[in-house]
Amino acid sequence: MYHPTVPHSTSQHPTAPHGLARRRPRVFLHVFRSPPHDHVLSLLPSPTRSSLPHLFGRCEFCCRVPKPCRDVCALLAQACQLVHLDQEHLVSKVCQLIHHLLNRFQVMVDEQNLNFLLSYCISALKQCSSWTHVEILQALAALVYNNGPKCQKYLPDLLGKTGLLVQFSDSAQPDVELRRAAVRTMANLCLSVPGQPYLDESYRSVCFQTFLSVLQSSKTSDVDDITFCMLLQNALKGIQSLLNGGKMKLMQTDQIGSLLAVLKKCMFHGLPGLSIEMPTALYPAPLPQYDKRSPVKQEQSEPATFKQTGNRRKKSKGKQKKGEFGEEGKEDLGDAGNESVLGADMLKLHLGDVQNSPFSDPRTHASDVAHVPAGKDPLSSRYTSWKRISSSESEYSDAEGGIQSKMRSYQANVRQGALACFLSAIKSIEKRVLYGYWSAFVPDAPGIGSPQSVSLMTIALKDPSPKTRACALQVLSAILEGSKQFLSVAEDANDHKRAFTPFSVTIASSIRELHRCLLLALVAESSSQTLTQIVKCLANLVSNVPYSRLKPGLLTRVWNQIKPYICHKDVNVRVSSLTLLGAIVSVQAPLPEVQLLLQQPSSSGLNNSGSATPHRFNSSEQWRKALPSEGEPPDNPAGCTSSEPCWLLRLCVSIIVLPREDSCSDSDANFPSFSSVYEPCPLRLESLQVLALLVKGYFPMAQSYFLELGEVACRCMEEMDPSIQLHGAKLLEELGTGVLQQYKPDSAIAPDQRVPVSVVVTFWTMMLNGPLPGTLQNSPHATLQTSACDALSSILPEAFSSLQNDQQILCVTLLLGLNHSENPLVKAAAARALGVYILFSCLRQDVMFVADTANAILTSLHDKSPNVRAKAAWSLGNLTDTLIINMETVGQSFQEEFSDLLLLKMLRSATEASKDRDKVKSNAVRALGNVLHFLQPYHIANPRFREAIEESLQALISTVQSEATMKVRWNACYALGNVFKNPALPLGEAPWTTQAYSALSSVVKSCKNFKVRIKSAMALSIPSKRECYGSTEQFCQIWSALVIALQKSEDTEDFLEFKYSASLRTQICQALLHLLSLARSTDLPVIWETIRENGDAIKSYVLQYLKSGVEENEAGMHTDLYERERVLKGAIEHLGGIEKQLEGKARVRVSAYLDDVLTNHANATELTEA
C-alpha cells in the first residue's frame, strides 16, 4: 500500500525533541552490519537472518533519498514481523527506526499498518524489559501523532485505570526519561483531527490530571534541567491540545485554580533573578493573589546566564501567523541570547531616530510614566542586571557557556509553552470567571514597603527572550479583550479617604499600574515584533478603560509616549501606533482630556521625522492659514476652533494623500510596488480609520476642515485599490453623519457653530460631481457599493433640497436602481437609504416618488435575505410615517392621489412581514398601525380592503400577546394606539375591539418590561369617545386592569426596570382620569366598588401624579401641574353631573372621592409654598 509523504521537516514535528537528530545519529541502520552485533544475527532463525539485512538496507535507502519510499509503512510492519519480542535489542532498534522515519518524513500511516504497529508496540511495552521502554514509547508517540481517532480500541490499554501511559507517567516513576516519553505520547494522543471524533470525557480527564500532576511536580536533584524542561513542555502541549482540540470548557473552580496556578509557575520557569513558590491552586479574589518569592542569591554564576554566545543563529525570516505562538520544533538555541538590551545605552540607540523630532522624548517621560519613588532611576533600577556581559567577564569556558545558552533556550520554551497554554485557557473560561483571577496575572500598585507582585508584566519587562515577552503581551491582550464591563466599576476620580479600600479603587489602581508598566516596556523594548505587541496591548487596554471615572492624565502619558513610534522604521509598529491613537480618540468620545490633546499646537506634531507635512495637498495654505482663536467668531464658513490644524488630522492626511519621501524599510518588502509611491497600504488604511474615528468622536474639531476632508475622501474613492476606496467611503459617511447630528432637533450645538448648509451643499455637489456615482455603480465590489450607499444616505435633508434638480434625480435614480441589485448587502443598503430619503420634506409630498419608493421597498420586503427584509421593513415603517405626516399636513389631496391598489399591497405585505423574524416584525407592525390609521372611510367600505384589514388587526393583536422580543411588543402596542386614532374604523362595535382591549389589558398588568406596559396604557387612553370602549363590561374590565397595573407598578424582578416605574404610574393615572372623564352612569357602580376596596392606594398614586411637576412621559407629551389639575377637575365635573341624575337610584360618591383628592393636593401645595 502506497502513501504520499511530506517533505523533510523534523523541526516542525511536535514529537521530535530539540536536537534529536544530532543526538541520535543513524547508528541503528548499521546495526546489522557492524561486527559488535553479529552475535545478534547468529541467534536468529535462518529466514530472519537473511531477511533483516536486506530489509534494513531498504530502510536505509529510504532515509538517503530525498523522499522516502512510498511503502515505508509496509517496510516497518515487515520489520516488526521479523523481530520477535524476545529479541529486545532488535525491538529497541526497530522502535528507533519507526520513530526516526515517521518523525523525519511525517509519513501518514494507513489504518491497517497502524493497527499492527500499535499492537506491536503495546505488546512490547508489556513484555520487554524496562530498558527498552523509552525507545518503544518514542515509536508509539510517532505512531499516534495525528492518529488519535484511529486509536480508540487501544485507549483502554494506554489510558485505562491501569493503562501503560498512566503507569509510566505517574509521579512515582523514578526514570524521568521514561516519564517524559509517556507524557509526550499522551500529549500526541490528545491532538485533535478536524472532522474526527475526539477522546471520550473519561480519557480527557485522565490526561488532564496527568499533565497537571507533571506541571505541579518539582525538579529533583538527579534530573538535569534540560530533561525537566522537555517534560514540562510536553505536559503543556498536552493541556493546550485538550483545551483547543477537545473544546474543553473549564467550569469547576478547583480545576481552574489548579491549572492557573501551574501555568503561573511555569510562566516564570527559569526566569533569571526570579523564583516563586505557588500554591497548588489559585482562588478567585479581588485582592492580590499569594505568591511567595524565594530569595535569589547574587552569585557570580548568575551573570553568566546572560552571556552572549558566539553561535547565535540567524533570525528566521518567516512570518509567524497572527495570534499564534507557532510550533516550537527545533528551537533556536540563540533565542535567549537575542535578548532586549534594556540599559541606558540601548535606549539612546533605540530613540536616536526621534531625538531631533518635535515629539516628546520617551526618556523624558519615563519617570512620569513609571511613578518611580524619588531618588531612583526608573530605568536603570530595573534593567541594570540585563546589560550584556562580555565574554572576558564570564568565568565560564566556551563549553560551559554553550550549555548555559542551551538551557536558557529550553527554559524560554517552557515559559512560551505556558503562555500559549494560558492563551488557550482564556478561551475556555468564561470571562466573568476569569476576572476573578485578575489580580493573579495583572499588576497592581505595590503597597508601602511591599514588593511588586509578579504578573504578566514582569515577563514583558524582564524576560530576556523577545518571543516570550511577545507571548506574555498576547496573553495580557486576550485578558483585556472584552473587559469593558469588568473595568467599568473602576473609579478614583475622588480622593479615597475611607478605612477600607473599595473594589472600584482597587481596579482603578490596577489600571494605572498597567498603564505605567506598558509604557515602561514601550520605552525599553528593542524588538520590533515585541514592540508591535506592546502597542496592540495598549490599544486593547485603552479601548476598555472607563477614563471618565478616573483622574485625568493616563491618556496624556500614552499619547506623548506613542508619538515617536509613528515614525518608527518598522511599518507594523507604525500601523499599531495609529491603531492606538484611534483607540484613544474613540474611547468614550468626546473626553475633555483627549480634546486638549488634539488641540496641542503643531509643534507637538510632525516636523521632518519621516512623514511629510500636508502642505503639498491641493491648496497648501488651507492647512497653514491663521485661524481665529477660541471664543472668537470663525472667519471661514466651516467654523474653525483652533489656531493651527489638529496635528493628528494633519498626520493622517499626509500619510493618506502625499507621496512618501523616505526610502523603503525592510518591513515594506511584503507590500506591493504601489507603496514605493505612497506609504504602505496598511498604514494608509489605518490612517483613514483614525481619521474616521476622529471625525466621529470630535466632529467640532474636524469641521474646520470639512471641505478638505471631503477632498481626501474623493481622492481615496478615485484610487484603484478597493480597500482604499472603501475606507474613503466610510470617511465620507462619518462626515455626513457628523453634520446630521448637529442639525438634530435636540442638538446642543448652537446654530452659528454648525457647518452652514451652504458648505454642506458645496460638499455634496463635489461628491456627486466626483467619484461617488461611479463608486455606487462599481458592481464587482459589493462592499464598496454598500458603503457608498450608506454615505449617500447621510446627506443633510436641508442640503439635499438645495441641490440642483439633476443631482437630486441622480441620487434617487441610483438608489432605486441599486434596490434591484443581486447582492444582498447592496440591496439592503439601498432599501435603508430609500427609507431615509422618504422622510425628506422635499420628496415626501411627491406622490410619484412615494409610489416608486413603496414599490421598491415592497419588492425588497419579499427578498430571501433576512437582512434585506429587515432593512426594507424599517424603510416601510418610515414610508408609512410619511403617509401620516402628509395626511396631517397636506390633507385630503394626497390621500386621494395615492393609489388604492398600492395601499392595499402595503397592507397585505406588512401583514405577511409581521409573521417574519423579530427584526422584520418590529417594523412591520409599526407600518401596519400607520396604514390602518391612514385608511379613509371609502377604503374601509371597499370589499377588497375588508379582509385585509381584519387580517392585519388580528396580526397586531396576536403580536401584542406573543412571546416576541420586547421591542416587537412595544411596537405592536404603539401600532394599536395608532389604529385607535382612526375615527373611520368601527372601534367599540367590531368583534376585534374586544380582543384588542383584552390584549392591551393583559400586557399592562403583567408584562415584565415596563416600557411595553407604558405603551399599552397609552394605547388604552387614546379613544376619545365612550362608545369606542364598547359595552359597560368591556369598559369596566379596562378600568380594573389599569387599577391593578397601578398597584403593581413597583413590582419587578429586574432592577433595571425600576427606573421606569414613575413613568408607568404617570401614564396609568392619565389613562384612569381619561376613563373617568368619559364614564357613563352604568359604569359608575363598578368604578365605585373598586374605589371602596383600593381607595387609599389609588389616592396616594394620584396625589403623587399631581405633584410630580413638569414631566415628559413615555408617550412624549409634556403635562404640567395645571394641565393635570384641569383634567381632574373635568372628571369631577363630568361625574358630578352623572351622579345628580342617579340620586335615589345608586349611592355612588366617585366625584366626592376625587374632590377630596383635589382638596388634599391643594392643601399640600399651600403648605409647600408657605
According to the per-residue pLDDT averaged within each range, which of 243-257, 348-362, 371-385, 795-809 is highest? 795-809
d(CA 1164, CA 1103): 9
Quickly list H helices, 1079-1119: 1084-1106
Does the pLDDT at position 5 exceed 50? no
What 3-state DSSP class applies to 276?
strand
Segment 77-93, tens digit of pLDDT: 888 988 889 889 999 99
- Among 177-191, 323-337, 444-458, the range scoring the smallest mean pLDDT is 323-337
| The three grid cell numbers given for residue 289, joined into one nine-digit string | 493573589
**H helix or E strand, kind and range, residue 561:** helix 554-562
**Residue 805 CB neighbour total at 10 angstroms:** 7
Polymer length in residues for the chain: 1170
Q: Please report where in the chains the cell 467550569 appears, as a residue.
A: 251
- Specify the DSSP class assigned to residue 1112: E
Q: What is the DSSP letter of 35?
A: G
- Which has the closest alpha carbon to 111: 241, 245, 246, 1? 1
Dihedral, CA atoms, 916, 922, 924, 929, nearest 10 degrees?
140
Q: Are 739 and 755 in contact (CB under 8 A)?
A: yes
**What integer pLDDT is reported at residue 1105 of this predicted model?**
86
Q: Is the pLDDT score of 312 beyond 50?
A: no
Q: Tell me the C-alpha distance between 604 and 830, whole Å.
A: 44
Looking at every residue in the chain, the average pLDDT score rounds to 79
State the average pLDDT over residues 593-610.
Answer: 65
Do residues 197 and 245 make contact, with C-beta atoms less than 8 angstroms apart? no
Indicate the residue type of 723: S
String of DSSP letters for 777-835:
T-TT-HHHHHHHHHHHTT--HHHHHHS-HHHHHHHHHHHHHHTT-SSHHHHHHHHHHHH
Residues 6+ apart with CB under 8 A from 756: 637, 638
The CA-CA-CA angle for residues 438, 441, 447, to 5°, reads 85
pLDDT at res. 670: 55
Q: pLDDT at residue 664 above 70? A: no
Q: Are 687 and 578 in contact (CB under 8 A)?
A: yes
- Residues in contact with 442: Cβ distance below 8 Å, sequence separation at least 6, in sequence order: 455, 456, 457, 476, 479, 510, 514
Amino acid 457: pLDDT: 93
- Is there a contact between 1120 and 1065 (Cβ–Cβ < 8 Å)? no
In this structure, the strands spanning 1111-1112 and 292-293 are: unpaired
Torsion of CA 42, 45, 47, 52, to 10 degrees: -50
Between 547 and 354, the higher pLDDT residue? 547
585 close to 698: Cβ distance less than 8 angstroms:
yes
Q: What is the mean pLDDT of residues 671-700?
A: 85
Q: How much is the pLDDT for 1058?
A: 73
Exposure letters 850-877 (e unless 16+ CB within 10 A, then b): bebbbebbbbbbebeeebbbbbbbbbbb
Instruction: Give the per-residue pLDDT at 341.
Output: 34
**Cell numbers representing residue 848 in the block:** 410619484
Alpha-carbon distance values, 588 to 479, 538, 648 (Å): 20, 16, 18
Phi-psi category of residue 988: left, alpha or beta, with phi > 0 → left and psi -120 to 50 → alpha: left
Of 162-166, 295-299, 1098-1102, the one with minimum mean pLDDT is: 295-299
Task: Taking residues 150-175, report their average pLDDT.
Answer: 90
CA 980-1080-991 angle, to 5 degrees, is 40
User: pLDDT value at position 639?
Assistant: 41
As a whole number of angstroms, the distance between CA 907 and CA 664 comes to 63
Q: Determine the average pLDDT of the residues in 1081-1101.
A: 87
Helix (H, G, I), strand (E, B) or coil at 473: helix
Confidence of residue 246 (pLDDT cuts 50, 70, 90): low
Q: What is the pLDDT of residue 544?
A: 95
Cα(288)–Cα(38) distance, rounded to whole angstroms? Answer: 66
| pLDDT band at residue 668 under the 50/70/90 scheme | low
The pLDDT assigned to 402 comes to 80
* 104 three-class SS: helix
pLDDT of residue 855: 95
**pLDDT band at residue 1116 using 50, 70 and 90 as cut-offs:** very low
Which residue is associated with the grid cell 491501569? 162
Higher local confidence (pLDDT), 54 or 153: 153
Alpha-carbon gap, residue 1033 to 1040, rounded angstroms? 10
> Is the dihedral angle over the CA atoms 813, 814, 818, 819 positive or is it negative?
negative
Backbone torsions φ then ψ of 490, nearest 5 degrees: -60, 140
Q: How far is 1046 from 1068, CA to CA, in rounded Å?
A: 6
The percent of residues in the chain predicted with pLDDT above 90, rounded, is 50
**% the chain with pLDDT above 70:** 76
Instruction: Please give the average per-residue pLDDT across 124-134, as a whole number.
Output: 92
Looking at residues 1115-1135, what average pLDDT do you find? 75
**What are the residues facing 1119 on neighbouring strands?**
1111
Gap between the Cα atoms of 832 and 822, Å rounded:
16
pLDDT on residue 108: 83
Residue with cell 495580557: 476
Orientation of helix 824-837 relative to helix 847-861, angle to 10°: 150
pLDDT digits (tens, 9 = 90+) for 874-910: 999 999 999 999 998 887 788 888 899 999 999 999 9
